[in-house]
Chain A
Amino acid sequence: MLIENMRMAFSAIRANKMRSFLTMLGIIIGIGSVISIVSIGDTMRSMFEELYRKIGITQAYIAIGYWVDEWRESDYFSLDEMERIKEIFGDEIAYIDSDASTSGDAVCARTTVRFSYTGVDYNYQEVQPVNMVYGRFLNQGDVLGRRKNVVMDTVSAMNLFGVENAVGESFRATIYGSVDDYTVVGVYRKDLNPFQAMMLGANTEGGEAFVPYTLLTWPNDRFYDIRIFARDEATMDVFFDNLKSYVARSKGRQPEDFRLVTAKAQMGEMDSIMGGLATAVGSIAAISLLVGGIGIMNIMLVSVTERTREIGIRKSLGARTKDIMVQFLTESAILSACGGLLGVLLGGGIVMMGGRMLGVQAIVKPGVVLLAVGFSAMVGIFFGMYPASKAAKKDPIEALRYE
């Protein structure tokens, strides 16, 4: 019976192709926009998550709070303090450095390139992927011996030396006002997708290089903040809290005077912003579903009037109120679900195409698709209820007499 009803519904929809399509349009647009918005949201979230994975989800910074009125000399960190932290929290720290960076001109022969330098420890590769292609990364000797060795990426090497493999080349760099000769010991390749390049800043003209962090502690071996990578993602929150308390105590401050910035918290914030945005825009888009539903109700009412005679015939052949009701409900549900399906294709297609153009992997969750089609069928049933009951209540004699 149900299959019979569905067959009848499809034949009725096919009989008025144009009208059915126009009726579906509201649902198509509604579902299409909801699907695309939700999918864009999901895609953005996953891209941000990937981004944070890239920069390290276990990463955190600790520094004196900007809200603290008077900063003391002791609020800054020294290398000795960092060593002490390493000793105390050794097991829980995967990596720690002074988060030092600076920039300055680098000169090789007649080429001058603006370089930015990041101070890192020798084991930086353990927490961040650095895809070495030539030479080696900085080693312990470089760091402890404050050797003027650098590791740069292929683009920077191209910019400065005109070749990718710049291992062994040296250049003159100005760091904190002092001019020195630096030697390239390794070259790595950055692999970023377009979105990450946009968010992290793509380097096309200038240069970037890793230097031993011990070189960038000017002045007085003091620095503003420390960067830590926790070893265990599960327990890192407690660890960071403990660390903050320890740092504050050792500097004679309250824990709340120090600022702890974790990548995870930032990501969570971003996530909730994106989620909230998607929900807000999605629910506005869902209003168009309401409009689509009303369109379906309208056309079903027309259809019921047009097919009054058919209803009469069916009743005379033994159709009960319920049978007629179910027939018309099936029709509006199918009409609406078809619209939903087309909407999913439309929305999904737009998102996929956009993703391809931007070079990112668009995400259309199957759950969302199911929900959308199911919801549109519900819309069809809800808005089909009134026309269907109107059809079912028709008096067979009147209906048969209808021209």
Chain B
Amino acid sequence: MGFWNRGRTEDLGGGWPQRKVEARENGAGKLWDMWRKSLKKALKFPEYITENVSEELIRLEDLVKVYDTGALKVLGLKRINLTIHRGEFVAIMGQSGSGKSTLMNILGCLDRPSMGHYYLDGVDVAAMNPDELSLIRNRKIGFVFQSFNLISRTSALKNVELPMTYAKRNKRFREQRARVLLERVGLGKRAEHMPNELSGGQRQRVAIARALANEPPLLLADEPTGNLDTAASVEIMELFSQLHKEGTTVVVVTHEEEIAAFTERIIRFRDGEIVSDKPNVPREPEPCGGEGFGASEEGEAIGDTDSDRQKALGDRLC
């Protein structure tokens, strides 16, 4: 606690060893205290960001998005009302221009609605400023993009660490957790590889590991298989199914029926409106890989039996 607080000890009597009492009377000690408190305050996020509070993960109330292009006002979203519960696996479908990307951006807190409310985990994020939205994105949302969006020239490990860096986690924690996550997506052996040394499917799995870094309640995937071949697409979707089974809420934006078939609920968009919202019986994972994902070459490198590994990882992750 600093050399300036060294000194005073207190005799507790009864043969107890003397205990050091931290002297805080002097100025330096007080200053140190203040500094620590302010540091703690700075590092501590508001509870609504760190705690999961609501069973309704997403609630949109009369959500409207207007694009103002100067001369013309275009209605991107027309009074959307939508609720997604914790633990759902949802596909949002629609043609390009249907408003699904707009909705995606708003759901991901990258954009703000023009009108209406967006409650994410019980908190209305519609009125938040950009920095608050950054915090929300960091803690509540894991993004998976069509074009992977890994940071180039940065190892898979560092990419996965990045959200934790912005969450001000310490280095040891970041690295440990990033390794666990990479193993979780079957890339334990590729941690040090650069994105350009990985295949498309592997990159997307790194992106998923990154999205899971801060244990966000919501996983938001925007055309996650758009740049992948069929085999890799199936692999990725099975990974999402797996994550969903473990309790993560997954929202996939796609225009492919085959992809949507993996989900349990399909919401269709057209011209900025919801045209249908139906439950879906998910397609069974193909029986080849046993546990679904991780059936690729990296999967077998992890020593114990699969089920043991799953259990152990699940414990560590949750």
Contact = CB atoms under 8 A, between A and B. Distances in A.
The answer to whether A and B assemble together is yes
Interface of A: 1, 4, 11-12, 15, 309-310, 312-323, 396-397, 400
14 contacts: A310-B152, A312-B149, A314-B162, A314-B166, A316-B137, A317-B163, A317-B210, A318-B139, A318-B166, A318-B167, A319-B134, A323-B166, A397-B110, A400-B110
A310 B210 CA distance: 15
B225 interface: no
A310 B167 CA distance: 18
Contacts of B153: 11-12, 15
Given A320-B130, A400-B149, 18 more contacts: A11-B153, A15-B153, A310-B151, A310-B152, A312-B149, A313-B149, A315-B137, A316-B110, A317-B137, A317-B143, A317-B163, A318-B163, A319-B134, A320-B166, A321-B134, A397-B105, A397-B110, A397-B111
Given A1-B165, A396-B110, A318 B137 contact: yes
A396 B108 CA distance: 11
Contacts of A12: 153
Nearest to B136: A318
Contacts of B162: 314, 317
B24 interface: no
Contacts of B210: 317
The 4 closest A-B pairs by CB, nearest first: A318-B138, A318-B166, A320-B134, A320-B131
Contact of B138 (A15, A312, A317): A317
B135 interface: yes
Interface in B223-270: none
A319 B163 CA distance: 8
A309 B152 CA distance: 10
A68 B151 CA distance: 84
Nearest to B148: A313
Given A1-B168, A397-B105, A400-B110, A318 B149 contact: no
A12 B153 CA distance: 8
Interface of B: 105, 108, 110-111, 130-131, 134-135, 137-139, 143, 145, 149-154, 162-163, 165-168, 210, 214
A11 to B, nearest CB: 6
Contacts of B152: 310
Contacts of A11: 153-154
Contact of B143 (A316, A319, A320, A322): A316
B179 to A, nearest CB: 17
A7 to B, nearest CB: 9
B167 A400 contact: no
B166 A317 contact: yes
A312 B222 CA distance: 15
Nearest to A7: B158
Nearest to A309: B149
Given A15-B153, A322-B131, A316 B165 contact: no
A322 B131 CA distance: 9
A317 B138 CA distance: 5
B149 A319 contact: no
Contacts of A15: 153
Contacts of A312: 149
A367 to B, nearest CB: 28
A4 B166 CA distance: 10
Contacts of A318: 134-135, 137-139, 163, 166-167, 214
A75 to B, nearest CB: 70
B167 A313 contact: no
Contact of B165 (A4, A313, A396, A397): A4
A367 B57 CA distance: 59
Q: Give the interface centre of A11, A312, A316, A319 by most chain B CB atoms within 10 Å.
A: A316
Contacts of A323: 134, 166
B204 to A, nearest CB: 14
Nearest to A317: B163
Contacts of A309: 149
Contacts of B111: 397
Nearest to B220: A316
A311 to B, nearest CB: 10
A313 B166 contact: no
A318 B110 CA distance: 10
A391 to B, nearest CB: 14
A323 B134 CA distance: 10
A310 B150 CA distance: 8
Contacts of B149: 309, 312-313, 316, 400
B154 A319 contact: no
Nearest to A312: B149
Contact of B151 (A4, A313, A315, A400): A313
A389 to B, nearest CB: 14
Contacts of B168: 1
A323 to B, nearest CB: 6
Contacts of B139: 318
Contacts of B154: 11
B202 to A, nearest CB: 18
Contacts of A314: 151, 162, 166
A309 B210 CA distance: 17
Nearest to A3: B171
A396 B133 CA distance: 11
Given A316-B110, A317-B137, A400 B145 contact: yes
Nearest to A393: B130
